[in-house]
Structure 1
Amino acid sequence: MFATIKNVENAVGETIPPLTAHAVSVSLPTWKSNVAYEEGEDWVIKNMKTGYPRFFIHLSIARLAEVIVEKHALPSEQAMLFPTHKAALRCLDFFNRQVSDLGPKEVRILDLVPAPENLSHVGSETASPSLSAVIFPKERFPTAKSFWQHSGEGISSRRAEYCYELFKRGLLVEKEKVDDLKRMCKGPRRYQKKVSMDSTGPLNGSNGHTSPEESKEQVQEGQDSLQFIEERFGRNLNVSLANKALHAVKRRIAGSLTADLELTEALEQEADNSRVRQCSGFSEDDVYIYSCGMNAIYNTHRSLLVARGPMKSIEYGFPYVDTLKILEKFGPGCLFYGMGESEELDDLERRLRNGERYLALFCEFPGNPLLKTPDLVRIKRLADEFDFAVVIDETIGNFINVNVLPYADVVVSSLTKIFSGDCNVMGGSAVLNPKGRYYNLLKQTWEAEFENNYWPEDTLFLERNSRDFVSRIERINLNAEAICEVLLSHPRIKQVNYPKHSPTKRFYDQCRTVSGGYGGLLSATFYRDSDAVAFYDNLDTAKGPSLGTNFTLSSPFVILAHYNELPWASSFGVDSNLVRFSVGLEETDALVAVFRRALAAIPQ
């Protein structure tokens, strides 16, 4: 029933989970390897088979970008790939704002769409692949990468795999040429055979389907996406199936679907009103799905700017790294309260009473990696009195444990984490509060601004992975509390960060559901750096970025997230020797033993 303790030695740069083509974590098994990754040392960088997708451009995406450049650009140029023209335009706008010496037409957009003879599937039963490439000089790569990382707007690796095969066979072409051809055509369009959603579907066999023998040859060991489609859904990925999967995912996020059921049964299941978010008038129509959690945050901030006009935002509490970057780089700026203490809310209230006005306050519930919890009751009172929106990131708490929607205008979350658990697909969500003060304005804005860019194959993985998320969360809550007690009792540990034992526990409990726990994430700091290194190097869990996995995943988080700003992070109480633990589904006794052995390895 439960996962086993890691028994495979993950080499540096190996995917986590091993042999997983679209893994969202990567093995960095020693403290030294994490530092070397940040320093760009070859013995780590050259062995990277993957990485966290917003920080590491997946090899499938890089391969597609290379062939696009070979055909449509100069050897001195590179390309960054996006799912739509609008997303590419936002990247172009970022270039124009960040680079003062940008020459005319130095950065341009190339839109690629299915070739005219393969357009029969557009808007019908199968998905329509398209993408937009932002092409720029190689020396401008840091700017493009910055947008990619902060916004989460880039294409997924599964989309890249599919589009690569189409592009190589001439089935993905310049939109401008297709438009020219359409204008030249007269009379009704005569369509050719339909294109399969699988990357090899339309290319083998006269009927547009791959034979079983050919399918077996094309499914490589470790290619989990192709194998999943082959075994569970056949060679054609039907959009109607993906749409049903998306509907089920939205129902789960809304809380109306909690049973572990196959897709057809799940959609027939009556609403579980005991789990529906406690907010009258709320429905799954108020749930929006994005490519990843940071993309949900980026688009929430962008949509608020559209709705309310250009104003500064507030970041309350020490945040996950890119949230602050979004507020600083994609608008008028940000007022940052990095400690998340009541004195900072006192300062905010003074500013508000002196006439300062803000777009929105962004916070995490609880924070990452210190697991502090904001005082949502007071924040909501200030928001109502002084007219600003509240955006709460519930990724760490998750709505099974906490109910924060009544205090927010928008609740965002990374579905990549515990909602999925399998560490093989990205996703994010934004939920609007129908009782929020800006609901009508935001609903109107979201309807105008929202693009469903979520790749259908990713939808199927997310739906499958999330079926048992309720039982997984309950199990992970118990395991995390057990590990917390082990760490609290050790004399070489300086501080353990966990909502149950935090000075801000009362704020967490104000929003904790009747059956909710304190989550699966915790962290610890040590009195000596050498103790942290010895402990981490001897901890027999998977070790890499991300969290919320079905297996325990550990990381020297501050080294990875803030290596180039360690003194700055330390000024907010985020020590460089902090180790973060995302607790999984392992047998509790076995997991406790793993942590005890690592603690025992600290030199006396």
Structure 2
Amino acid sequence: MPTIPEPPTTVGAAIPANTPHAVSVMFPKWQDNIHYEEGNPIVTSRMECGYPRFFIHPFIQKLCDRLLNKYGKVNESGMLFPSRKVAERCREFMKQYYSKTQTVRIVELKLGPAEKYPAMPIFMLVFPQDGFKIAKQFWQHSGDILSSRMAERCLEVLDEQDKKDKQEQEKPLPMGNRSRYANKKQSLSIEKEEKPIEADQYVEERYGRNLPIEFTNQAKVALRRRIAGILSTEAEQSIQIKDYHKATAIELESQRALQGDRGIKGLSEEDVYLYPCGMSAIFHAHRIAMSVLDSSKKSICFGFPYTDTLKILQKFGNGCYFYGLGEDKDIDDIETKLKSGEGILSLFCEAPSNPLLKTPDLKRLRQLADEYNFIIVVDETLGNFSNVNVLQHADMVVSSLTKVFSGDSNVMGGSMVLNPNRKHYQAIKAYQDNEFEDLMWCEDALFMERNSRNFKARSKIINANAEALCDYLVEHPKVDKVFYPKFICRNHYDSVKNATGGYGGLFSLILKNEKAAQQFYDNLRCAKGPSLGTNFTLASPYTILAHYTELDWAEEFGVSRYLVRVSVGLEERNHLLKTFEDALNAIDEV
């Protein structure tokens, strides 16, 4: 198991500390989160990074500024995307919400190739500065974001080109044969000069932690097999990755005959798709549903979801019905709508949900979907397939690989898994064959493959830690309520729980009042910031961060404005219990 580093203590520090591509940021005090949401430079000016869909990584900001200086005009801004299709979708989105779309244009560039890295296509959407907020909404909602590692490599290519241009300008004018010969020798030496390997790259490759860049395709195959649940034993996990590409058609058919970890007959890596992040998988699941069924119908968002899932269903397509409580009586209402002739395109839900950890009655929803011909998409990020089998009830299962699957909080990724036994499988498969773009940057795939090798073992430890902590908290007199699948909608969770699975590593708690929540949070000695599913325990005042401008609305669905969400890590269990005990003891007596 990985060593758990001490969390940083200063506001704005990367989590983990000193990690260039960290996906979380330290907000040690409750008020820090409010300052962040209000854009107060007390916090924002000190941020080394942030969650990449909300806070554009400094490497990406720097690259965009550099390209704007060359290709933009005065008072223009830009947004970088990994493909032309994504940039065009952003432009279409801006047409709905921005009046100056006639001035929006796409600048296409290709940088590299550089050393062992492939050529890097960059698509910059350029628009007046007041359009940035609209473009940023698309970046956040769609999840089709540029990799910060790719931006870093692009900057290196530009730096190298600038260096060569400067050397070319500084060359003396030719002065006879001798001078020409000397200049030729000098230019040859520059061409042959080897760039030093970066320290982090050296460590990852030298000690076998990350694979060399040449094995990117094999790493992606390994990831897809792992997500499909085909590589289920340690012996299979230890197969040398360079041998993966040798799989024959016969071997693939033998895989399809096995049910694997997910218990789905016929499932293979061919049914798994990788995306830049989890929200990208959700966004494309919605696009698939609109393409294979009647897009004039509305979708359903069942249960209080992570914020951007609802935004996707509301802003793209024909809108949605929102059942924010996600209770059994809501399914009664859905059934009434369907029986009255109301058509449904798709139903999106989480199992369990974030942050209330509710699990819907997936069996009943599946029966309605089969009878009334709509698609079910389940986000299994919090449950994860080592704990639950939700694919049996879904057409598509989506997940954020950034979370517990990776654990290291240093790389983004998402996945979509198709159920090959569902009615619309062939139509979905045909759509993916024509439309799917592999936008996962090669280095991100290598980090994700490395991080996820011990995913199942980590998941078991996290399950046990979280359950012990929740058993302690639910009985504590200063705790008002604990949201955890063991205590919330347990019958529905248990109906999809694997025999060897647990209740996951995420829970939320509500203290007696807002002051108590602040005192608890401020005195909790662990990492504190956005994201979840990390190898280290990570807490956040969830509603403040996710719904600061709509706190009253969130409370209508049971999401308290002073709810604290906790993602449990791999720390020693007694240490964790003592950490939470100390934070609770710091609360003034009510």
Q: Quick check: TM above 0.5?
A: yes
Question: Could you tell me whether the CA contact under 8 Å between 1:292 and 1:414 is conserved in 2?
Answer: yes
Give, in whole Å, the separation in 1 of the partners of 2:461 and 2:505: 9
Summarize deviations over 1:224-280 as a string: whole Å, max 9, x none. 457535765999732xx0001111111110111145555726956997968431111
Give, in whole Å, the separation in 2 of the partners of 1:235 and 1:537: 40
Give, in whole Å, the separation in 2 of the partners of 1:234 and 1:263: 15
Tell me by how many angstroms 1:314 deviates: 0.4
Give, in whole Å, the separation in 2 of the partners of 1:346 and 1:288: 34
Task: Work out whether 1:544 is the aligned partner of 2:529.
Answer: yes
Summarize deviations over 1:482-524 as a string: whole Å, max 9, x none. 110121111121110000111x111111111110100000010
Aligned to 2:226: 252
Summarize deviations over 1:319-374 as a string: whole Å, max 9, x none. 00000000001111011000001111111111111111111000000000000000
Moved more, 558-567 or 249-258: 249-258
Equivalent pairs counted in the alignment come to: 553
Give, in whole Å, the separation in 1 of the partners of 2:462 and 2:243: 26
Give, in whole Å, the separation in 1 of the partners of 2:150 and 2:408: 19
Task: Work out whether 1:571 is the aligned partner of 2:556.
Answer: yes
Aligned to 1:499: 485
Question: Could you tell me whether the CA contact under 8 Å between 2:95 and 2:101 is conserved in 1?
Answer: no
Superposed, 1:45-444 pairs within 5 Å as 45-99=44-98, 101-104=99-102, 106-114=103-111, 127-170=118-161, 206-207=191-192, 209-210=194-195, 214-215=196-197, 218-219=198-199, 224=200, 228=204, 232=208, 237-238=213-214, 241-259=215-233, 261=237, 264=240, 275-310=260-295, 311-444=297-430
Q: 3-state SS of the aligned residue for 1:546?
A: coil
Tell me by how many angstroms 1:438 deviates: 0.4
Q: 3-state SS of the aligned residue for 2:352?
A: coil
Distance 1:264 1:208, change over 3 A: farther
Give, in whole Å, the separation in 2 of the partners of 1:441 and 1:463: 30
Distance 1:415 1:236, change over 3 A: closer
Q: 2:519 aligns with which of 534, 537, 547?
A: 534
Report the TM-score, using the length of structure 2 for normalisation.
Answer: 0.90
Q: 3-state SS of the aligned residue for 1:323?
A: helix
Aligned to 1:34: 33
Tell me by how many angstroms 1:168 deviates: 4.1
Give, in whole Å, the separation in 1 of the partners of 2:212 and 2:347: 44
Summarize deviations over 1:458-493 as a string: whole Å, max 9, x none. 000000000000100000000000110121111121
Question: Could you tell me whether the CA contact under 8 Å between 1:245 and 1:263 is conserved in 2?
Answer: no
Q: 3-state SS of the aligned residue for 1:134?
A: strand
Tell me by how many angstroms 1:306 deviates: 1.7
Question: Could you tell me whether the CA contact under 8 Å between 1:554 and 1:580 is conserved in 2?
Answer: yes
Give, in whole Å, the separation in 2 of the partners of 1:342 and 1:411: 21
Give, in whole Å, the separation in 2 of the partners of 1:410 and 1:381: 16
Aligned to 1:475: 461
Distance 1:276 1:208, change over 3 A: farther
Percent identity reads 47
Q: Output the amino acid matched with 2:145.
A: G
Q: Output the amino acid matched with 1:600.
A: N
Tell me by how many angstroms 1:164 deviates: 1.7
Tell me by how many angstroms 1:35 deviates: 1.1
Question: Could you tell me whether the CA contact under 8 Å between 2:14 and 2:26 is conserved in 1?
Answer: yes
Q: Output the amino acid matched with 2:527.
A: A
Question: Could you tell me whether the CA contact under 8 Å between 1:479 and 1:588 is conserved in 2?
Answer: yes
Tell me by how many angstroms 1:3 deviates: 4.3
Question: Could you tell me whether the CA contact under 8 Å between 1:313 and 1:335 is conserved in 2?
Answer: yes
Summarize deviations over 1:578-604 as a string: whole Å, max 9, x none. 101100011111111111111111112
Distance 1:75 1:386, change over 3 A: same
Summarize deviations over 1:66-119 as a string: whole Å, max 9, x none. 0100000113111101111111011111011222x2252x1100111147xx69
Q: Output the amino acid matched with 1:320.
A: Y
Question: Could you tell me whether the CA contact under 8 Å between 1:552 and 1:582 is conserved in 2?
Answer: yes
Summarize deviations over 1:153-184 as a string: whole Å, max 9, x none. 1201001011122234449xxxxxxxxxxxxx
Q: 3-state SS of the aligned residue for 2:261?
A: coil
Question: Could you tell me whether the CA contact under 8 Å between 1:293 and 1:414 is conserved in 2?
Answer: yes
Distance 1:308 1:225, change over 3 A: farther
Q: 3-state SS of the aligned residue for 1:499?
A: coil
Question: Could you tell me whether the CA contact under 8 Å between 2:293 and 2:345 is conserved in 1?
Answer: yes
Q: 3-state SS of the aligned residue for 1:359?
A: strand
Unaligned runs of at least 5 residues, structure 2: 163-187
Give, in whole Å, the separation in 2 of the partners of 1:485 and 1:204: 67
Tell me by how many angstroms 1:206 deviates: 3.4
Distance 1:155 1:321, change over 3 A: same
Give, in whole Å, the separation in 1 of the partners of 2:554 and 2:541: 14
Aligned to 2:431: 445
Question: Could you tell me whether the CA contact under 8 Å between 2:520 and 2:584 is conserved in 1?
Answer: yes
Give, in whole Å, the separation in 2 of the partners of 1:169 and 1:97: 40
Give, in whole Å, the separation in 2 of the partners of 1:235 and 1:380: 41
Give, in whole Å, the separation in 1 of the partners of 2:210 and 2:389: 39
Give, in whole Å, the separation in 1 of the partners of 2:344 and 2:201: 44
Distance 1:515 1:393, change over 3 A: same
Give, in whole Å, the separation in 1 of the partners of 2:127 and 2:306: 29
Tell me by how many angstroms 1:9 deviates: 4.1
Question: Could you tell me whether the CA contact under 8 Å between 1:290 and 1:427 is conserved in 2?
Answer: yes
Distance 1:589 1:205, change over 3 A: farther
Give, in whole Å, the separation in 2 of the partners of 1:103 and 1:145: 15
Give, in whole Å, the separation in 1 of the partners of 2:479 and 2:210: 52
Moved more, 296-305 or 268-277: 268-277
Distance 1:132 1:231, change over 3 A: farther
Task: Work out whether 1:18 is the aligned partner of 2:11.
Answer: no
Q: 2:447 aligns with which of 461, 464, 470?
A: 461
Tell me by how many angstroms 1:389 deviates: 0.3
Give, in whole Å, the separation in 1 of the partners of 2:127 and 2:424: 39
Tell me by how many angstroms 1:313 deviates: 0.7
Report the TM-score, using the length of structure 1 for normalisation.
Answer: 0.87
Q: 3-state SS of the aligned residue for 2:357?
A: coil
